[in-house]
């Protein structure tokens, strides 16, 4: 006698349906088995790709980057670029009586400082203040933001005092000045 795989009761071997529990006992067609095998293979490949992607992501964040300049060198380059742009902005103010609306007005002179900041792993952002009652701009903010985590952000305004923070945010006027 043959037993039903679902209910374990004895049934006729030629039965296509179990008379007790109603389970279909007909053999699975070959095409359906192949589809199930392909589906299993696709799922296995997707899981393998996700695993490889996860491992690659972990390696990307854990291993040190070789293209990063040393922190002290990068920060010194950013501070030097800030001081150079500050000198250019002050010269512009002495000549025109106002700070520029955009950095493009002095981009010829400031371009080298911006490029050196980029080489050091920093991006500079100039923000002009609002025009005063005389129509002239009397203040500005210049930010240096690092490309790499763990490097300081810098802040410079018309006072010439450079301030910094190690937090992952732009530096502000409330951060401590650098020596």
Q: Which domain holds residue 3?
A: 1-63
Angstrom distance (rounded) from CA 15 to CA 178? 88
**135: helix, coil or strand?**
coil
**Residue given tokens 């955009």 in the structure block:** 102
Is the same domain home to 145 and 92? Answer: yes
- 11 within 8 A of 18, measured Cβ to Cβ: yes
Q: What is the pLDDT of residue 76?
A: 94
The secondary structure of residue 32, as a DSSP letter, is: H
Per-residue pLDDT of 58-107, as tens digits, reads 887 777 656 667 889 999 999 999 999 999 999 999 999 999 999 998 88
Is residue 173 in a domain? no
Q: What is the pLDDT of residue 33?
A: 63
Q: What is the pTM of this model?
A: 0.62
List Cβ neighbours of 177 (8 Å cut-off, separation of 6 or more): 161, 162, 163, 164
Would you state the structure tokens that stand for residue 103, as one six-digit string?
A: 């950095």
pLDDT beneath 50, residues of the chain:
none
Q: What is the pLDDT of residue 40?
A: 85
Angstrom distance (rounded) from CA 87 to CA 98? 14
Is the same domain home to 7 and 33? Answer: yes
Is the same domain home to 58 and 97? Answer: no
């Amino acid at each position: 006698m043959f037993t039903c795989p679902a209910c374990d009761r004895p049934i006729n071997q030629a039965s296509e349906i179990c008379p007790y529990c109603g389970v279909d006992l007909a053999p699975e067609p070959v095409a359906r088995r192949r589809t199930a095998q392909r589906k299993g293979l696709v799922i296995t490949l997707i899981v393998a790709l996700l695993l490889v992607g996860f491992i690659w992501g972990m390696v990307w964040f854990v291993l040190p980057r070789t293209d990063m300049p040393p922190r002290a060198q990068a920060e010194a380059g950013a501070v030097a670029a800030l001081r150079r742009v500050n000198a250019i902005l002050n010269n512009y103010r002495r000549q025109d009586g106002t700070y520029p609306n955009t950095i493009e007005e002095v981009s010829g002179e400031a371009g080298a400082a911006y490029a050196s900041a980029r080489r050091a792993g920093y991006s500079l952002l100039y923000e002009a203040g609002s025009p005063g009652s005389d129509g002239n701009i009397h203040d500005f903010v210049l930010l240096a933001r690092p490309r790499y985590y763990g490097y300081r952000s810098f802040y410079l305004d018309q006072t010439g005092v450079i301030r910094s923070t190690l937090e992952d945010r732009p530096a502000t006027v409330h951060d401590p000045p650098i020596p």
